[in-house]
Chains A and B, each alone.
Chain A
Amino acid sequence: MGVNVRMVRLAVLIIWAVFCITPIFWIFSTAFKPNEEATKFPPTLIPKKPTLENFEYILSDPILFRSLLNSVFVSISAAILCIIISSLAGYAFSRYEFRGKKFLMGLMLGSFLIPPVVNIIPLYVEFFKLFGTTDSLLELVIVYQLLILPLNVFLFKNYFDTVPAELEESALVDGCSRLQAFYKITLPLSKPAIAAASIFAFRFAWDEFIFALTFISSPDNNVFAAAVYNFVGLYQVQYGYLAAAMVILCIPPVIILTLFQKHIITGLKMGGLKG
């Protein structure tokens, strides 16, 4: 009886595991097929003649290559800016008592709940009116702050809560100002939080594509995900190329996930909606 129950359970879990892996397997398989094989019927499960020509094609396309560099630039800038802004706010929420603190924290938490996409139209109009154009990578870096800021503010707050305030107080006695104590004592002790926060910020920016698609109009300014979307629309689908582009898009998150698994888990725990 017990053995049978376990067998059924394992069967269900294995079926779901296969379901989870299949789409990823399929893009990897297609990415390494030469184009004749990718469009041949019936499709092969594993490439007969594995090739890198799809990747060569994607990376040698000047627009797509440029967009890849833009993606790296936007994601890193967005992460750095977010770390600066959100660590300051997290510090204020963690160490200070002040009038309106509860309200401001509630506002921050509440804004975390409303998906920014609902506001995409007024944001577009606002940026258009302010800057005369929305076709700029720097504007994207600013817009992306909204996507990641609330999560990281709470991540930093919860982490700073675990750093003993006594350490800073002894620095204050030694003549440091409060802010000096913050960036000389507390911030260096918060490397795990900084790591987790930059990973979140980088990933959000790297994966985002609706804002990029909407804001950016010139090919020179596009980020990779949006450039691939436009590329598919323009040239009909060449599945080999498309799959190769998807694999490229997967690489940074997969590397980050495997390298920093521990930080991500701490980060998820810290950023959890504890308020």
Chain B
Amino acid sequence: MARLNESITPYLLLLPSFFVLFGLMIVPMIWNVYIALHDVSITNIAKSWKFAGLSNFRYLVNDEWFWNSLLVSAKFVGACVAGQFLIGFSLAYLLSKERWSNLFRPVFILPWFMSIIVTGYSWEMLFHTRLGFINNYLLHFRIPWLEDPDIAIWSVAIANVWWGTAFTMLFMETSLTSINPEILDAAEVDGATGLKKLRYVIIPLIKPFIAVNLILITMWTVNLFDLILVMTGGGPLYSTRTTSLYMYQQAFNFGEISLGSAVGIVLLALNLVLAYAYLRASR
């Protein structure tokens, strides 16, 4: 009897967690497909839904703003990932050589502990064309950081680099400490110094960590839209509306829930590919 009990106990202990996981993750994924194949809007959500086939996807393919959002996403993800990685890696490398690294590290991590809404609003204040800190104290001319459609997406990317770089820095610091110091000494004996050592010894050794880090920050940036919502709401002229923000606004600003779901499926597919890449790279 005791034996039988023992064998179901772990499942009972896991039940609440998997209830959450199932109800809030798996069921919604299936629902998403169902919603995307029907005609659901905020007005008929409580009533019965008409089957719509692939018409939502057809709408997307023909909507130039959807294609525009993919382009905005590409710019945003490219800028943020490049910025966070290059800066995060450089900081980790510099800190690894710096005696006072314990003084700098807490300051560098501080932004990462700010919530998205605080990040968004404080950068909005810094970027303010007339009253902002940047235009008044750093430059002595006015750049319309968040008001010019050609500039706004890069401004939001700066805010996101400010917020997110600490993760890459910490991740890269850990991976740098994983290198056996004897290998570095040996490289030095062989005449590799400074940047040469970095290029031919350090980077090849931590390549797997770099891959995992790049995949994770790419995933997070693809899905991120709360920061953009706070800073620009997708404007001006939709120039900062990424695909994830397009998804959100179709559903909750325009009430086109099914259209939003269809975009959600596109995003989910992208996430699954990245998650698969992550699991392979982290092995």
Stretch at the interface among B18-26, B71-79, B147-155: B18-26
Q: Which of A114, A143, A249 contacts B118 (CB 8 A)?
A: A249
Write out, one digit per residue, whether chain A residues 125-149 have a CB within 8 A of any chain B CB (1) or not (0): 1101000000000000011011001
Write out, one digit per residue, whether chain A residues 59-77 have a CB within 8 A of any chain B CB (1) or not (0): 0000000000000000000
Q: Which of A21, A98, A143, A179 contacts B110 (CB 8 A)?
A: A21
Most buried by B among A30, A89, A232: A89
Given contacts A43-B136, A145-B20, A214-B252, 20 further A-B contacts (CB under 8 A): A12-B90, A16-B87, A16-B104, A20-B107, A20-B110, A26-B126, A41-B131, A43-B131, A85-B16, A92-B14, A96-B13, A118-B223, A119-B32, A122-B31, A128-B45, A146-B20, A146-B24, A179-B9, A246-B118, A273-B282
State the Cβ distance, A6 to closest chain B Cβ, in Å.
8
A250 lies within 8 A of chain B by Cβ: yes
Cα-based distance from A242 to B120 in the complex (angstroms) = 12
Write out, one digit per residue, whether chain A residues 198-231 have a CB within 8 A of any chain B CB (1) or not (0): 0000000011011000100000000001001100
Which residues of chain A from 225 to 275 have any CB-CB distance to chain B below 8 Å in the complex?
Answer: 225, 228-229, 232, 239, 242-243, 246, 249-250, 253-254, 257, 273
List, sorted by A's number, 25 A–B pairs whose CB atoms are closer than 8 Å: A13-B104, A17-B104, A17-B107, A17-B108, A23-B162, A27-B118, A41-B130, A85-B16, A91-B13, A92-B10, A92-B14, A104-B14, A104-B18, A115-B220, A118-B223, A119-B268, A126-B28, A210-B225, A214-B252, A225-B115, A239-B125, A242-B125, A243-B125, A246-B121, A250-B118
A173 lies within 8 A of chain B by Cβ: no
The answer to whether A125 touches B257 (Cβ under 8 A) is yes
Write out, one digit per residue, whether chain B residues 98-130 have a CB within 8 A of any chain A CB (1) or not (0): 101000100110110111111101110110101
How many residue pairs, one in A and one in B, have C-beta atoms under 8 Å apart? 225
Stretch at the interface among B60-68, B180-188, B198-206, B259-267: B259-267
Q: Number of contacting residues on A, CB 8 A?
A: 80
Stretch at the interface among A47-55, A105-113, A162-170: A105-113
Contacts of B130 in A (CB 8 A): 41
A185 lies within 8 A of chain B by Cβ: no
Contacts of B244 in A (CB 8 A): 117-118
Cα-based distance from A4 to B226 in the complex (angstroms) = 43
Contacts of A108 in B (CB 8 A): 17, 21
Q: Number of contacting residues on B, CB 8 A?
A: 82
Cα-based distance from A273 to B278 in the complex (angstroms) = 11
B247 lies within 8 A of chain A by Cβ: yes
Contacts of A254 in B (CB 8 A): 113
Cα-based distance from A228 to B45 in the complex (angstroms) = 28
The answer to whether A98 touches B24 (Cβ under 8 A) is no
The answer to whether A143 touches B115 (Cβ under 8 A) is no
Given A125-B40, A209-B226, A113-B278 contact (CB < 8 Å) = yes
The answer to whether A85 touches B7 (Cβ under 8 A) is no
Q: Which of A20, A122, A214 contacts B28 (CB 8 A)?
A: A122
Cα-based distance from A71 to B13 in the complex (angstroms) = 29
Given A118-B223, A121-B260, A125-B31, A9-B94 contact (CB < 8 Å) = yes
A175 lies within 8 A of chain B by Cβ: no
The answer to whether B11 touches A98 (Cβ under 8 A) is yes
Cα-based distance from A201 to B63 in the complex (angstroms) = 40
The answer to whether B25 touches A24 (Cβ under 8 A) is no
Contacts of B226 in A (CB 8 A): 117, 209-210
Cα-based distance from A121 to B244 in the complex (angstroms) = 12
Contacts of A125 in B (CB 8 A): 31, 35, 40, 45, 257
B279 lies within 8 A of chain A by Cβ: yes
Contacts of A210 in B (CB 8 A): 225-226, 229, 248
Which residues of chain B from 72 to 96 have any CB-CB distance to chain A below 8 Å in the complex?
Answer: 87, 90-91, 94-95
Contacts of B271 in A (CB 8 A): 113-115, 118
The answer to whether B6 touches A126 (Cβ under 8 A) is no
B50 lies within 8 A of chain A by Cβ: no
A88 lies within 8 A of chain B by Cβ: yes
The answer to whether A239 touches B117 (Cβ under 8 A) is no
Closest 5 CB pairs of A and B: A207-B115, A122-B28, A92-B13, A96-B10, A89-B17
State the Cβ distance, B219 to closest chain A Cβ, in Å.
7
The answer to whether B29 touches A9 (Cβ under 8 A) is no
Cα-based distance from A117 to B271 in the complex (angstroms) = 11
